[in-house]
Structure 1
Amino acid sequence: MWSMLKVTKLPIYCSRRFSNTCQQNRILKMKMENLNLNDSSNARRLKQKAHDRLLKLRNFLAMDICNHASKEFEMENITHAVVLNNTTFLRQPKPIENYRFFATKSNTNVNDSIFPLNDTVSQPPLESVSEDQPLLKIYHKFPHPKNILHNFFTILSEELKDKNLKIEPIYKSEEIKKGVMMWTASYNLKWPVEMKITARATSKKLASTKAASDAINFLQKHNKISTEGMPLIYHEREIKKLTKKKETVINLDKTVVDLLTNITQVFDKDLKPLVESTNFKVDNLLEDETEYKSHNLKIPNYLGIQAYMAKEKIKLPITDFKDSFIQLLSKHNCIIVEGKPGCGKSSRVPQYILESWIHQDREALCRIAVTQPRRIAAISLANRVSNERDEPVGHIVGYQVRLQANFQAKTGRIVYCTTGILLRHLQTDPLLRKFSHIVLDEAHERDVNTDLLMNLLKRALNENKNLKLVVMSATINAQAFSDYFNGAPVFNVPGFTFPIKKYFLEHLPVNCPKTLSMCKQDKPQIIHEEVKQLIQYIHETKPPGAILVFLPGWEDLTKLEKLLNRNNDSAVYLLHSKLKDSEQYRIFSKPPPGIRKIILTTNIAETSITIDDVVYVIDTGIHKDNIFDNDKGINVVDNAWISKASANQRTGRAGRCQAGEAFHMYSVEKFEEMTNYTPPKILTTSLTKVVLDSKVYSNNMNACQFLNNLITPPEEIAIQRAVEELKQLELLDQDEHLTPLGRTLINFQLEPCLAKTLVNGVLFKCTTPIVDIITLFSAESGVFGSVTLTGKDALKRVKSQYSSTSDHLALMRLYEKWLELKESENQDVVEQFCRQTNMVSHKLDFLNKLVNINLNYLHTELYHAMPISDQFSDNDELVKAVLYSGTGTVLEHRNWDIVKNRLKTNVNVLVTRHNHKATISPESVNFKRKKFPSNFLVYINETRSNIRRTTIVRECSLIPTISVLLFNSNELEILKDNLSDDDIKENLVILSLKGTKLQFLCNKEHAELLIYSKAAIQESYKYLVHQLTYANEDITDFLMAWEKVLQNIDMILSLSKVN
C-alpha cells in the first residue's frame, strides 16, 4: 500500500509558482489524511495527482529554484531537501555544473518509479545538437532561454534585414498513458544553418524551455552567441570584407605627380651627391665630468657672524635637538632626518646648518640648496624663514623655481628650489661643487625628480667629499633610505601637533549615504553635494577656524566652489598649480571678522605648507592618479584612493597651530584597505624623457643599468620601451648612445618628440607657429579659465572663429591676437579680449615666457648652418604636417563600427594608432563633426579614462592623406599580399607605413614615386640635422637646393588643403 505523503517547505527563496505547488501539495496532503485509502478509485485518482504534482515539483526544483537561489546556496554550504515519504531529495551545494538530485532511502518501502530521478521519456536524438552540456548549465547562464532565443533572432533579422529569421515554437501533445500527457516543442532555425530542434517534456512550458536551451547550446558550440545573448554575426574575415574602406584609395592628380617628380630630380642632381659624401660618424658628445661647465653661482660675500645665526621666534620640537643634529652632521656626509609633521625641520634644519658653518670653518664654502617637490612650497618656505629672520627674501634666504627666482648670488646662502631646478644644476655641475649642503625635503613623495636626485646625489657624495646631504620627510620608511645611502644614520625628531579629533564616515555628524555606497565600489568618486553638506555643518555649528578640503582635481575644486559661493558669510579659496602664485598665496590671508575661510585643494597642501588658521580638515580620501600605460603608450587618468601616509598627513594639517578636527569621508574599513605609502611615480610614468636625460647624468651609461641604481627601479620592459622610442626618434643610436640631435634636445624642458618637432619647424621654415603650438599645448596649466560643460561649447565657438578644422591653429591665432593687443600697450583692450575668449592673462604671460625660452634654445642649441626662418609659416597644411612629423600621433576616421558584433554603418568613429576608440572632447572644434574632408586628425595629448572606457583627445587638427604619407617618420613600402583580382587588374598596390596599421590602395607608379620622393626628403632631412647639431659646415649650395624641395612641398600641401 502506498504510504502517506509528507512534504516539507524548502528553506530557500522560492519563486511564486514553486510556492503555489507547495501549497497545492499541502492541501492534497490534508485531503489524503481524511480519506480512506482502501477506496481504490479515490486512491488511484489522488495517487496520480500526487505523481503529477511531484513531477512538476521536481522540475521546478531543478530549474527555477536552482537558478534563483544559486547564489544563496553557494554562500551557505548547506543542503536543502524535499522529504517525500521519508525519501529525501537532496541538492548538492557545488558546483553549479553538477546540480543533480538524488534519493536517500529510508527503511520504508517506497515505489521508486513514482519519484523518477530523470525523465522516463527520452529526447529524440538530434545530430546537429550537442548533448554534452547539461540543461541546467544553460539554464543557469540564461535563466530565461525562450526570451533570450527569441530576442536573439529578432536582432538577427533586423541586422540581416530578413524577417523570415524570426522564430516561434511549434507545439504538439500526446497522451502516453491514461492521464499522462507529453508535449513536444520545436524550433525551425534558418541561421546559421537550416535545422529543426525538438524537445519533449511533461509540460508545454518545460518542452519549449528545453528546446530553447538546446538551441542556445548549439549556438554556443558554434560561437554564434555572446555571453549577453547577442548574435555574433561576423567572423573576422567577414568584418574585414564588410569594412574595406573606399577612402584608402590614393589618387594623385597630375600636378601633384609633377611636383613629387621635381623633388626627386632636385635630390638626384643637387642633394644626393652631398648626402652620400658626408661622414655621419660622430665623436663622444659628452664632456668628462671633471671638466664641467662653470656655474653661474658666485661665492657669496661674508656678512658677519650675526647674519648667519639661526633665528627662532617660536620654539618648535626640533629646537631641543639642534646641538645633537649639528654634531651628527659633522661626523657624516649623509644623514636621514625622520621628523614628524610640525616638528620644524623644513624651516629650521637649513638655518642650523648655516649656523654650524660659522662656528666651524667660515673659510669653507657654505651654500645650501633645499629642494621641494612643488614651487609654492619652495616660495612659501623662503618667505616664512626670511620673515622669521627679519630679512628681505633673497638676501640670505631665497628661492628659485621655474621662470621665477629671488636669490642674491652675492649674499645668499640658503636657496629653496624645486627638484627640477637642482637637476638642471646637475646637468652642468654633476658633482655640485658650487654647493656645500643639499637638503632633500619631502622625500616620501617619491616623485620622479626626487628619485633621480637621490641616485645622482649618491654618486656625487662618493666623488665630492666636501658635499653633505640631509634627506628629510615626515613619513618615509627611514630604514630603506638609510640602506640606500650606505647605512646613513637616522635622526628622529618627534613632532608636535595640537589634539586632533578624528571622525570616519560611520561617525560623521551628517548623513552621507551616497558616499557610503561609493566606498564599497572599486572606482572612487566625489559626491559634491555631500561634501558641501559637511562643510555647511562645520560652518554653522563649529567655532571659528578655516576649513581645508582635500579633493582630487581641478574640476572638483571648481564644481564645489560654485556650490559654496552662495554663502555671504564665507570666503572660498582654491589651491591648485593652475593658479598663478599670487592667487595661491591668498590662502595665507586672514578673512574679515565673521567670515569663514574655506580652502579647496588637491594633495598639493598635504606637505610643506602650513596655513596657520586651519582648524578643520575634510579628507575625501581620493586623489587624481595619472599612470602611464606602457603597453598602450598613453596616460591613464583616474580617481584613486590615497595611501595611509597621505591620510595621516592630511589629518596633521588640522593641528599645526591649534587644536583641530579631521573629518574623513571614508570608512574605517576603507582606511585599513589603503596602501601604507603611495607608490613611487617612477613606476607609473613615461620614462622617455628620464632615459634621455640620464644619458647626460651617467655619461651614456646603459639605461637599464643606470635606472636599476634607483632606490626603486622601474620595470625593465618600461625602460626598454622608452629606449626604443628614443631610437625611433633618432635621439639614440643603435648602441643606445646619444645622437647629436639627442644631445641638443636634452636642454629643452619638453617631451623628446615635442622638442624634436621644434627642430623640424626650423628645417621646414615654419619656426614661429610650431614653437607657439608646441609651447601652448605642452603646458599643464593651459590658457583658459575654469570651463563648465556649457562653457566648453562656448569655447568651441570661440576657437571656431579662428579655425574650423584645427584646434592647434585656432589656439595659436588666439595667442597671437593676444600678443598683438598686448604690444599695443592698451591693457583695457587686452582684458576685454581675455573676458570675451575666457583666456587668462597671467597664464598667457607665463606661456609667453616659455615661448621665448624655446625660441632662445633653438638659437643657442642649434648651429647656424641654416638660418631660422618663417618663410612657409603661412601654409597651414605645412604647419600641421610638421606638427605630425614630431608627434607621430594621428586619429583615423571610419564610417562604420562593430558594436556587440553588430555592424553599424554611416557613423563617425575615431581610432588611435593603437586601434582604441577615441572621443574628442566638447571644447574641440572637431567635436561631433559630421563631415570629414580627410580621414586623419593629428593630435598631441591623449588620456585614457577607465571610468569612461575611452581614449580622450582634447585637441586635434584635420590633415590630408599626403601629409601622413610624407611626414610620418616611418618608411613607405609596397605590400604584395591581400590584393584582389580587381586590384591587380587596375594595377593597384597596397602602400603601407612600416610599423603602423596604416595601409592605402594606390596606383603602382604613384606608389613608387611616393616612396622615392619621401626617401629623398628624409635623406636631406638627416643631412640638415647633422649640420645643425654637429658638423656646422658651410652648406650654402645644399640650402639653395633644399629651398626648391620646400617650395614643391609647399605647393603639394596647398593643393591638398582640408576645409
Structure 2
Amino acid sequence: MLEGGSGQGGQGTAFDDITHIIIDEVHERTIESDFLLIVLKTLLVQRPDLRIVLMSATVDADKISKYFGGCPVLQVPGRTFPVDVRYLEDAVEFTKWKITEASPYARRGKSYKGKARMDWSEEVIVADDDDEMAETNLKLEKRYSSTTASTINLLDDRLVPFELIVRLLERICFEDPTHASFSSAILVFMPATNIAETGITIPDITCVIDSGRHREMRFDEKRQISRLVDTYVAKSNAAQRRGRAGRVQAGLCFHLFTKHRYDTKMADHPDPEIMRLSLSDLALRIKIMKVNLGTSVEDVLLRALDPPLTMNIQRAVNSLIEVRALTPAEEITPMGRLLSKLPTDVHLGKFLLIATLFRCLDPALTIAATLNSKSPFVTPFGLQDEADRAKLSFRSDNSDFLTIHNAFSTWRNACANGSGIARKLCKQYFLSHQNLLQIEELRQQYLGYLIDSNFVQVDRAFTRELSRSRFSRNRPRFVTVPPELTINSSNTWIIGSALAAGLYPKILSVGVLKDGKNDIRTILNNQPVFFHPSSINFGRRAKEFGVNHLCYFTLMHSKRLYAWETSPVEDMALLLLCGEADFKLMSNTVTIDRKIRFRVEPKSSVALKYLRSQLGSLLAAQYRCKPLSETQVNWNELAMMILGKVEIKEAPEREDTVTLVVNRPLNY
C-alpha cells in the first residue's frame, strides 16, 4: 500500500483519498515497525488532516507520543488476573537449593566450562555488557536465610540454573500443597528466542518460570558478521512473560534474576532491531518508496525513533553499492529495482537473478528458500552421529548449498511416488517433512516474484498453474521450473559461479599453514574462520577442496568465527563476475577490489578483460529486461562454457587463439 502513487514533483500519492490509517498489534520494535513510523511521520507532514491510530500492548507509548509531537495516548486496561511475582532469591529460598564452589553453576570469572553451558549444542556468546553486570556481595533482606544469600552471591548469573528449574517444578507440582493450584500448566521460558512472548498464547497457563535470558541476533557492521548473543531480557520482556500466568486465574511467576538486577540494571525495553541488525535491506526499501521520505538514506534513517549510528548507515549503503544495487550517488540501479521486489537478503536476491540468467534457477530457488527458512536436516536428541552420517550421504561437491539441493530433490522425487514413501525417506535420513514443504512454498513464492517483476517470462498457462499451487489449501502441489531456465542446473560450476557472483564479497581464501592446519580467512578483513560443525566441510582439510576460495552465506561469531554454509569457488568466477577488476599487464597481475590478486599472463589478461566487459554489458542489458543481440548471445554462450568448464570443440587452434592461464592467487 505504501508504494502506490508518486510523492514527488507535485503529483498525487496513493494516500490522497485516505483519511484514516489504523495499525493493530505493533508488538516489537522491528526494523519494519520503525520504518513504518518514519513513513507515517512523513505522511503526517504532507497530510496534516490524516488520522493515524497505533494499537499495542507492549511498546513505549510515551516515547512514540513524543515522536509524533505529543499525540494523545489512550490507555485501555487489560483483563488479566494478578500475578504473584517472585525473583531468584525467592526461588532459592523456596526450594532450599544451594551450590558450592565446586558446582558447575559457581562463578569462575570468564570461564564457561561448567556443565550448564556445555549442555547446549547451539553455540552462542554472552553479551559483552554481562561481564560488567555480574552481581557480587549482594545484600538480601533479613527474611532470606544465610544459605540463600551465599548461593546468590556464588551463582554465576550468566548461566541458566537448570537444576533450580527442576527443583521449582518438583516443589510446585509434588511437594508443596499450597502451590497445587499452579501445577496444572507451567510455562518455562528458556533462552531460545522471544517468539513465545508475543506469538504463542496457551490459555491454561497458571505458572511461569522465566530464565530471564534470551538469544538475539546482533549484526556487527564493522566486521560484517552476525552474532547470536545470550543476554538478559528487558523489563518489558519480563512483563510479557509473567503476563502469560494471569490469563485464566491469579498466577505465579518466578523470574530467575534478582530483584536488585531488575530494579537497577535491566533496560526498560529491548534494543530496537534498527540498532542491532543490518540496515542494507532497509536502505534499499527506502530508495524504492514513492513517498518522498528524504534526500538520502542517511537523511531518512536519522529521523527514526532511535536513529542508528551514521557510520552503520554508511556501511549499509556501501554494501548495496558493492553488490551494485545502488550507484555511488545512491541512485537505484535496474538490478537494485529487481532486488527490491524479492523479499530476501540482497545477496540471495542477486544470486537468484544471476542464476536465472545462467539458466540454473531450480537449484537456486531451493538454496535461497532454505537459507530463508529452516534447515531440512534435523538432529534428534542422542542421534547426533547418525544424523551427521545421513546428512553426509547427500554431500555434493563439498558444497553445503548443493547438499541442501540434493536432499530436497531426493525428497521431491520421493513425493512423486506417494507421501508414505516421502515420510519414510524423511525418517530414514533425518529430514523434516514439514520444513521441506515450507521450502517448496518459498520456492514458489520466489518464482512468482520473478515472474511478477517481468524478469522471468512464462506463458499464461504456467502462471495459472503456479497460482493454483501457491494458494492451494489441499495437499502440497509441486511446480516444475520451466525447462529453459534449468538447462545448466546439473552443472555445479555454473551454480557455483552464480553463488560467488551473488554472495560476493562473502568470500574466504583457502590456504594451509606450515603445521598442516587450515588457514581460512575472510577477504574483507583477513579474519581467521573455521567451519561450523553443522557444515558438511567440518573437519575437512583445505587442500581437499582443489580451489583457492570458498563462498559463504553466514558468518557467526561465538567462541570462534564460524562459517555455516560454504561452497568452492573457481578463480574464473571471481575474475569474470566479482567486484572491480584491475588488469596490470606489466606486472602480470589482476586484482579484484584490492582484496584478491591473481598471476595472469598478458595474453590471458587481455582476453579476460574483454570477456569480463562483454559479460558485464549483457548482464546489465538483461537486468533492464532487454533482449540480447546475436553478438551478445554468442558472448554469453562463450562465458557459460568457460564458467561451466565445458570443453569447446571447434576448428583446429589458430595462431591468434589465446589459452587462458590463471595461476594461484597471490595473497597480500
Query: Normalising to structure 1: TM-score of the pair?
Result: 0.49
Tell me how far 1:429 sits from its aligned partner: 7.9
Distance 1:526 1:432 in 2: 54
The 1:863–1:493 alpha-carbon spacing in structure 2 relative to 1, beyond 3 Å, is closer
Does structure 1 residue 892 correspond to structure 2 residue 483? Answer: no
* Mapped contact 2:218–2:227 kept (Cα < 8 A): yes
Equivalent position amino acid for 2:494 in 1: L
String of CA shifts for 1:776-834, please: whole Å, max 9, x gaps: 2232x22233455852663354334442511111110111111122233x111010011
* Mapped contact 1:550–1:618 kept (Cα < 8 A): yes
Report 1:252-651 matches (<5 A): 288-289=6-7, 431=15, 436-443=20-27, 445-463=28-46, 467-508=50-91, 509-510=94-95, 511=97, 513=99, 517=107, 520=135, 524-541=158-175, 542-543=179-180, 544-553=183-192, 602-607=193-198, 609-651=200-242
Report 1:714-863 matches (<5 A): 714-779=308-373, 781-786=374-379, 791=384, 794-803=387-396, 805-824=398-417, 826-863=418-455
Equivalent position amino acid for 1:837 in 2: Y
Higher relative contact order (CA 8 A, sep 6+): 2
The 1:524–1:761 alpha-carbon spacing in structure 2 relative to 1, beyond 3 Å, is same
Does structure 1 residue 999 correspond to structure 2 residue 585? Answer: no
Does structure 1 residue 925 correspond to structure 2 residue 524? Answer: no
Tell me how far 1:449 sits from its aligned partner: 0.9
Q: Could you tell me which residue of structure 2 aligns to residue 302 of structure 1?
A: none
Report 1:113-152 matches (<5 A): none
Distance 1:1028 1:862 in 2: 11
Distance 1:989 1:1036 in 2: 33
* Mapped contact 2:395–2:536 kept (Cα < 8 A): no
* Mapped contact 1:432–1:460 kept (Cα < 8 A): no
* Mapped contact 1:864–1:1032 kept (Cα < 8 A): no
- Aligned residue for 1:911, secondary structure, equals strand
* Mapped contact 2:494–2:640 kept (Cα < 8 A): no
Tell me how far 1:494 sits from its aligned partner: 3.5
Report 1:638-677 matches (<5 A): 638-671=229-262, 672-677=264-269
Q: Larger Cα Rg: Structure 1 or Structure 2?
A: 1
Distance 1:1016 1:787 in 2: 53
- Aligned residue for 1:685, secondary structure, equals coil
* Mapped contact 1:515–1:666 kept (Cα < 8 A): no
- Aligned residue for 1:526, secondary structure, equals coil
Tell me how far 1:719 sits from its aligned partner: 0.8
- Aligned residue for 1:614, secondary structure, equals coil
The 1:991–1:863 alpha-carbon spacing in structure 2 relative to 1, beyond 3 Å, is closer
Equivalent position amino acid for 1:525 in 2: L
Distance 2:422 2:512 in 1: 43
- Aligned residue for 2:485, secondary structure, equals coil
Does structure 1 residue 713 correspond to structure 2 residue 307? Answer: yes
Distance 2:385 2:251 in 1: 40
The 1:1014–1:757 alpha-carbon spacing in structure 2 relative to 1, beyond 3 Å, is farther
Equivalent position amino acid for 2:29 in 1: R
Q: Could you tell me which residue of structure 2 aligns to residue 343 of structure 1?
A: none
* Mapped contact 1:919–1:953 kept (Cα < 8 A): yes
Equivalent position amino acid for 1:834 in 2: C
The 1:788–1:777 alpha-carbon spacing in structure 2 relative to 1, beyond 3 Å, is farther
String of CA shifts for 1:986-1045, please: whole Å, max 9, x gaps: xx755432242x334x3xxx3434544443344334333443333625634422442233
Q: CA RMSD in A?
A: 3.3
- Aligned residue for 1:606, secondary structure, equals helix
Equivalent position amino acid for 2:518 in 1: N
Tell me how far 1:726 sits from its aligned partner: 0.9
The 1:796–1:289 alpha-carbon spacing in structure 2 relative to 1, beyond 3 Å, is farther
Q: Could you tell me which residue of structure 1 aligns to residue 547 of structure 2?
A: 934
Q: Identity across aligned pairs (percent)?
A: 26
Equivalent position amino acid for 1:738 in 2: I
* Mapped contact 1:910–1:918 kept (Cα < 8 A): yes
Tell me how far 1:533 sits from its aligned partner: 3.2
- Aligned residue for 2:306, secondary structure, equals coil
Tell me how far 1:617 sits from its aligned partner: 0.5
Equivalent position amino acid for 2:207 in 1: Y
Tell me how far 1:441 sits from its aligned partner: 2.5
- Aligned residue for 1:636, secondary structure, equals strand
The 1:1008–1:787 alpha-carbon spacing in structure 2 relative to 1, beyond 3 Å, is farther
Tell me how far 1:696 sits from its aligned partner: 1.6
The 1:515–1:477 alpha-carbon spacing in structure 2 relative to 1, beyond 3 Å, is farther
String of CA shifts for 1:178-237, please: whole Å, max 9, x gaps: xxxxxxxxxxxxxxxxxxxxxxxxxxxxxxxxxxxxxxxxxxxxxxxxxxxxxxxxxxxx
Distance 1:830 1:429 in 2: 50
- Aligned residue for 1:906, secondary structure, equals coil
Does structure 1 residue 905 correspond to structure 2 residue 515? Answer: yes
Distance 1:482 1:849 in 2: 40
Equivalent position amino acid for 2:76 in 1: V
- Aligned residue for 1:1039, secondary structure, equals helix
Distance 1:842 1:499 in 2: 39
Distance 2:49 2:423 in 1: 53
Equivalent position amino acid for 1:934 in 2: V
Distance 2:60 2:275 in 1: 18
Distance 2:185 2:222 in 1: 45
Equivalent position amino acid for 2:212 in 1: G
Determine which structure has the larger strand proportion and give its number. 1
Distance 1:962 1:1023 in 2: 18
Query: Structure 1: which 5+ runs fail to align?
Result: 1-284, 294-427, 554-601, 897-903, 977-987
Q: Could you tell me which residue of structure 2 aligns to residue 872 of structure 1?
A: 488
Distance 2:213 2:347 in 1: 32
Instruction: State the number of aligned residues.
Output: 561
The 1:858–1:1016 alpha-carbon spacing in structure 2 relative to 1, beyond 3 Å, is farther
Equivalent position amino acid for 2:402 in 1: L
Tell me how far 1:516 sits from its aligned partner: 6.8
Distance 1:438 1:490 in 2: 14
Distance 2:426 2:15 in 1: 46
- Aligned residue for 1:937, secondary structure, equals strand
Q: Could you tell me which residue of structure 2 aligns to residue 126 of structure 1?
A: none
Equivalent position amino acid for 1:890 in 2: I
- Aligned residue for 2:55, secondary structure, equals strand
Equivalent position amino acid for 2:441 in 1: K
